[in-house]
Amino acid sequence: MKLTQLISTLVLSASVFILPSSVSANGGAELQSANIDIHNQASLQRGAKYFVNYCQGCHSLKFSRYNRIALDMGLTNDQVIENLIFTRDVKGNPTKVGNLMTNALDKEAAAKWFGAPPPDLSLVGRSRSADWIYTYLNSFYADPSRPMGVNNLVFPNVGMPHVLAGLQGLATLHEAKADEHGDAHHAAAPTLSIEEPGSLTQTEYKAVTRDLTNFLVYVAEPVQLHRKTYGVWVLLFLGIFFIFAYLLKKEYWKDVH
């Protein structure tokens, strides 16, 4: 078998496994652009605040420490202790700023309540992508048939309650309808409309979910704040090194004909 045929075969074989998972990963819903900026410290600070207040009761960030996010977000340890740490250890002592961002949720009890223990979200920004997280947070709708009374377009039959419902409100799902020729394959996508408004306007709520998404993407890979800068310096070094290497090569080979 020729090399080009082998490569084509491998690519096609991989697509059999990759494409179905990528299609089903968002429940068939069209992902919205999160348009985040991980270098926006104010956004990251707000995202950390929303995570601690609305998410950390169930979800942990077991690969992230409070003092690490303090360093990257321009916060002092005292600011983190005052604004982001509200937990205690098993002995009842206040959580220290150098501790991992875990919680005290009993996994067995959580499995009974939700059907499965809430996952750790340390790497969700990498495993799911920013657009997926942002769309997920904006895709909850009322569904009386579900145990928590809500469902999600991106994650159908999700076991998680809509913890941000007080901010967004509760949306109603409008199912897709067939086109004028009765063709369901060309039907418009299902849409959501807010029937019970929350404390925020929809523009304000989207800003909240964008900040929360930004924070989760940062947590998944904190080094991304600096790696592009490192890359510039590496390329600059290689460019200067190339000049000296070329001059050295000319010196060694000047007498060779």
Percent of the chain residues topping a pLDDT of 90: 57
pLDDT at 90: 66
CB atoms within 10 A of CB 136: 24
Q: How many CB atoms lie within 10 A of CB 215?
A: 29
Q: Where are the domains of the chain?
A: 31-222, 229-257
Q: Which of 152, 108, 159 is nearest to 133 (CA)?
A: 152
Q: Supply the DSSP string of 119-138, one letter for each residue.
A: PP-TTHHHHT-HHHHHHHHT
Amino acid 226: pLDDT: 84
Averaged pLDDT for residues 146-169: 93
Better-scored residue on pLDDT, 94 or 26 = 94
DSSP 16-51: HHHHHHHHHTTTTPPPPP----TT-HHHHHHHHHHI
**What pLDDT, in 10s, does the model give residues 112-142?**
888 888 999 999 999 999 999 999 999 999 9
- Cβ pair 133, 34 in contact under 8 A: yes
Q: Is the pLDDT of residue 22 over 60?
A: no
**What is the average pLDDT value for the chain, to the nearest integer?**
84
Q: What is the mean pLDDT of residues 187-209?
A: 90
CATH of 31-222, one of 3.90.230.10, 3.30.70.260, 1.10.10.10, 1.10.760.10: 1.10.760.10
Q: Which residue has the tokens 């989760």?
A: 216
Residue 12 has pLDDT above 60, yes or no: no
Higher pLDDT: 137 or 25? It is 137
Question: Crossing angle, helix 202-220 and helix 130-137, to 10 degrees?
Answer: 140
Highest mean predicted confidence (pLDDT) among 6-20, 159-173, 175-189 = 159-173
- pLDDT tens digits for 67-105? 999 999 999 999 998 899 988 776 778 889 999 999 888
pLDDT score at 13: 40
pLDDT reading at 35 higher than 60: yes
As a whole number, mean pLDDT of residues 211-238 equals: 91
Question: Average pLDDT, stretch 20-46?
Answer: 78
